[in-house]
Amino acid sequence: MSKSPAFESRMEKIVSLAKRRGFIFQSSEIYGGIGGFWDYGPLGAELKRNLRDTWWRAMTRDRDDVVGLDATIIMHPSIWKASGHVDTFADLMRECTITNKRVRADHVEPQSGSVMRYSGVNLVSHVRSQHINRNITALMKQGEHIESFRKRVRQLVLDKLGKPTRDESPFENTARAAFPPEEIELLGEERIEVVENSVDYHPETGGLLSEARPFNLMLKTYIGPTATEDDVAYLRPETAQAIFAQFKNVCDSSRVKVPFGIGQIGKAFRNEVTPKNFTFRSREFEQMELEFFIRPDEAVQLIRGSVAAWSEDADLSIPQPNWGWELWHRYWVAQRTAYYASIGLGPDVLDYFWQTKADLAHYARACVDILFKFPFGTEELEGIAARGSFDLTQHQTHSGKQLEYFDEELKTASDKLSPEQKAAFIEESYARRSKPETTREEIVAVTEKLFKGLYIPHVIEPSAGLDRLALAILANSFDEEEVTDEKGKTETRTVLHFHPRIAPIKAGIFPLLKNKPELVAKAREIVALLRPHMAVFYDETGAIGRRYRRQDEAGTPFGITIDFDTLGEEKPEFKDTVTLRERDSMQQRRIPISELLPFLLGKIL
């Protein structure tokens, strides 16, 4: 996706603010950083915690049909065999034949230029190719001897035509910052051909790319002291599988009844080939996933006599007992959309991508991605998939444990059917089978189970990324406004318009003067009043306008100033009132201290 300069500079400003104000730092920055890993600073940690809390509340606590789970990151490796991750969780990758640097096959942007063959290098003063120079410098930094590099450099390299100027190219800037200006002479060069829009050269190094090969994205580790292949375990690439693996325990221990869901928030790890766009695609990230278990449509049919079909004007507000998978899927899309609106992401910044039949995984019936309009393009925030009974069936097969659910209502409804009605139901199910290859015997086996009240529940899975959401919230909230002060001076106000519910700090508390003990004491009293209920920030240094600006940048929705009127010395009618400033409108008004807590709680809960 092409990026406009305005969008790029907006993104740069967001990244810079995130570091300057302590939202997001590069992991291990003092050692040069580590690609695809990010740390959250004081404000970022609060923001993330608030987002986590809003999800948990909306998806579990505020509902009586969802329970929570907090499972381990490392699980039995067979889980990942059963889920298909060991065999298929891979990206197609190509490798630079000079540096071995990898790139996702579908991420190679077409390039044009002259294909050159270099025949050797020397460490002297003249530099002919920036690409080769950087590769050599990088390799030498890793301790590779120049002689071995001489052999490898007899490769094809693309000298790009029309490559971006240094200032426009993030790679050039990174490379420039990372490597010292070593000087290298190339001993011979030969132009092989001129290519246009070729995807066969590494976008950063220019080196010829190898054939595409699958590269598994799971991060491996070893359990126990021996570290043999028998001890391999994986850091989970998604939180979802733990929910399926613990399905039976949750059913047995929690008196849940289908339809119901299990939600989980936690870390996931993927060895992404090209982590990019700040935290958007990271190697360590947090997911917020719900597996919502529903009756198969055939069970609904047996219990209710029919399955309600989805239509444009379907009422999705309250789930109904005759809903089939399609209405449940639509319901969760609507629920998740409402959730995003509740934290400030309205329809103007969201979009939807409905996967076509050809895009869908073989087991999935439908999948929609909720997209957010990031500065670098409209990209996925959350996926909502109707996964059928695939996952539980896989775990039942691989573990050998029964994961079928007994549905009392289904058994009661089936017991009322005559043998003829049951035979007719089997025929109908066979005629309606979704896959033509399904045999009559398979249909009979499943339907006989249904008559006994048994089935493997089907699943609707809304799966969101917490770090992606935090980035979307930062991008959506960031603003630079021209404002004019009382003296007529115009300046740029940087502000984060966080919804109060998710703002890291809810109120800034400012005594007008720090050297007036009565003002300071009153301000401290207000801190003590509010702190048990919310995050507040006490600030007594600098002009009041500057203190407001500092909190605008942190996204603090309210400022509370304690001034001489609060003390009621000159105007007794204002005693025990404070100035309340609202971040977005910058409007100020007086409010009694006694009303502060209920007012703020009404905004943040």
How far is the C-alpha of 354 from the C-alpha of 360, rounded, in Å? Answer: 10
Give the contacts of 248 (CB within 8 A, at least 6 positions apart).
401, 402, 403
Please identify, among the stretches 118-126, 145-153, 463-471, 523-531, the one whose residues bind ligand GAP according to the rule CB under 6 A.
463-471
The rounded distance, in Å, linking the Cα atoms of 279 and 470 is 9
520-539: buried (b, 16+ CB within 10 Å) or exposed (e) per residue?
bebbeebeeebeeebbbbeb
Residue 371 Cβ, how far from ligand GAP at the closest point, in Å?
10
Please tell me whether residue 285 binds ligand GAP under the rule CB under 6 A.
yes
Answer yes or no whether residue 216 interacts with ligand GAP by CB under 6 A.
Answer: no
Nearest residue (CB) to ligand GAP, 329 versus 583: 329
For ligand GAP, give the closer residue by CB, 186 or 473: 473
Q: By beta-carbon distance, which residue lies closest to ligand GAP?
A: 465
Q: Which of 46, 407, 467, 552 binds ligand GAP (CB under 6 A)?
A: 467
Nearest approach in angstroms of CB 178 to ligand GAP is 23
Decide whether 56 or 430 has the Cβ nearer to ligand GAP: 56
Residue 286 Cβ vs ligand GAP, minimum distance, rounded to whole Å:
8
Which string of DSSP letters, residue by residue, matches 142-158? Answer: TT--HHHHHHHTSSEEE
Nearest approach, Cβ of residue 380 and ligand GAP (Å): 5
Q: How far is the CB of 279 from ligand GAP (least distance, A)?
A: 7
Site for ligand GAP in 48-87 (CB under 6 A): none
State how far the Cα of 240 lies from the Cα of 308, in Å rounded to an integer: 28
Three-state SS for 196-232 is EEECCECCCCCEEECCCEEEECCEEEECCCCCCHHHE
Is residue 468 near ligand GAP by the rule CB under 6 A? yes
Cβ closest to ligand GAP, residue 367 vs residue 580: 367
Give residue 255's identity as a one-letter amino acid code: R
498 token code pair: 């966080």
Burial class (CB in 10 A: 0-12, 13-18, 19+), 286: buried
Classified as helix, coil or strand, 410 is helix
**Token pair of 131, please?**
């690409």
Query: Is the Cβ of residue 361 or residue 527 nearer to ligand GAP in the bound state?
Result: 361
Nearer to ligand GAP, 14 or 184 (CB): 14
- The DSSP result for 272-328, as a single string, is -SS-BTTTTB-SEEEEEEEEEEE--HHHHHHHHSS-BPP-TT---SS--TTB-HHHH
Q: How far is CA 546 from the centre of its chain?
A: 34
Note whether 240 and 81 are within 8 A (CB).
Answer: no
Q: Which of 172, 141, 140 shows the shortest CA–CA distance to 153?
A: 140
Q: Taking CB under 6 A as the rule, does residue 506 contact ligand GAP?
A: no
CB-CB contact of 584 with 497 (8 Å): yes
Binder among 48, 102, 281, 522 for ligand GAP (CB under 6 A): 281
**464 belongs to the binding site for ligand GAP (CB under 6 A):** yes
Q: Strand runs (DSSP E) across 33-155, as ranges?
A: 38-40, 66-69, 90-95, 102-104, 111-118, 121-122
Looking at beta carbons only, is 89 or 430 nearer to ligand GAP?
A: 89
Q: Which stretch binds ligand GAP (CB under 6 A): 200-208, 220-228, 374-382, 475-483?
A: 374-382
Q: Of 378-407, which residues contact ligand GAP (CB under 6 A)?
A: 380-383
Stretch that binds ligand GAP, among 312-320, 329-337, 344-352, 376-384 (CB under 6 A): 376-384
By CB under 6 A, residue 287 contacts ligand GAP? yes
d(CA 517, CA 36): 49
Residue 84 or 383: which CB sits closer to ligand GAP? 383
Tokens of residue 583, six digits:
């971040």
Cβ atoms of residues 545 and 552 within 8 Å = no
- Binding-site size for ligand GAP (CB under 6 A) equals 18
457 binds ligand GAP (CB under 6 A): no
User: Least distance to ligand GAP from the beta carbon of 274, Å?
Assistant: 10
The DSSP bridge partners found for residue 117 are 156, 190
Nearest approach in angstroms of CB 222 to ligand GAP is 23
- Relative to beta strand 558-562, strand 507-511 is parallel
Asked if 289 touches ligand GAP (CB under 6 A), the answer is yes
Asked if 22 interacts with ligand GAP (CB under 6 A), we say no
Of 282 and 447, which CB lies nearer to ligand GAP in the complex structure? 282
* Single residue of 99, 463, 556, 579 touching ligand GAP by CB under 6 A: 463
Site string for ligand GAP, 229-268 (x = CB under 6 A): ---------x-x----------------------------
- Helix (H/G/I), strand (E/B), else coil: 344: coil
Find, among 253, 252, 251, 269, the residue nearest to 261 by Cα.
251
Q: Which stretch binds ligand GAP (CB under 6 A): 244-252, 314-322, 414-422, 457-465?
A: 457-465
Q: How far is CA 341 from CA 344, 556, 603, in A?
A: 5, 19, 15
**Region from 5-13, 90-98, 390-398, 464-472 binding ligand GAP, contact rule CB under 6 A:** 464-472
CA distance 130 to 116: 13
Residues forming contacts to ligand GAP in the complex (CB under 6 A) are: 238, 240, 270, 272, 281-282, 285, 287, 289, 380-383, 463-465, 467-468
